[in-house]
Amino acid sequence: MAIKAGEKMPSGTFSIMTESGPGAMTTDELFAGKKVVLVSVPGAFTPTCSMNHLPGFVEHADDIRSKGVDTIACMAVNDVFVMNAWGKDRGVKDDVVMLADGNGEYATALGLTMDASGFGMGTRGQRFAIVVDDGVATHVAVEAPGKFEVSKAEAILAQL
């Protein structure tokens, strides 16, 4: 069952790249006492994700933060090294926290996985954006297959 607005975000841990190498970030560290936009993409370096989805959040980061958002985070079912390289490639700097959900455990906990085995990618997280206020989902925007409308930065900005 997919998470819905008004529900508490599940507990979990992401891999992140730190100055000293791979590290971890818990959902408590990410969400507690903060307003967060959590964006999920099916895969780093894939066309829509690289050319539109992530860049939109980088481009609109200041506008999103001006609406009271403390953190913009992007997760994908990729390893921490890929997420770090992708963030550098897309120029995210400190605008977006890059979260690796390497085994898809958090996407599964959210009930938002998809079967991308037809593309040789196995189980992935769906394309979505969730606005989280102190650990509670306040807006959940999940894309229909093949679409890029409700989870893009401009749509989320309009919801804030």
Determine, yes or no, domain membership for 1. no
**Domain at 96, CATH number:** 3.40.30.10
16, 44, 49, 141: which one is catalytic?
Answer: 49
For residue range 121-136, what is the model confidence (pLDDT) as tens digits?
Answer: 768 899 999 999 999 9
Determine, yes or no, domain membership for 84. yes
Determine, yes or no, domain membership for 143. yes
The residue among 106 and 117 whose pLDDT is bigger is 106
For residue range 18-29, what is the model confidence (pLDDT) as tens digits?
Answer: 999 999 999 999
Q: What is the domain count for the chain?
A: 1
For residue range 68-86, what is the model confidence (pLDDT) as tens digits?
Answer: 999 999 999 999 999 999 9
Phi, psi of 9 (to 5 degrees): -70, 140
What average pLDDT does the structure give for the chain?
94
Provide the whole-model pTM.
0.94
Mean pLDDT of 86-105: 96
The answer to whether 74 is a known catalytic residue is no
Q: What is the pLDDT of residue 45?
A: 85
User: Which residues span the domain enclosing 135?
Assistant: 13-159
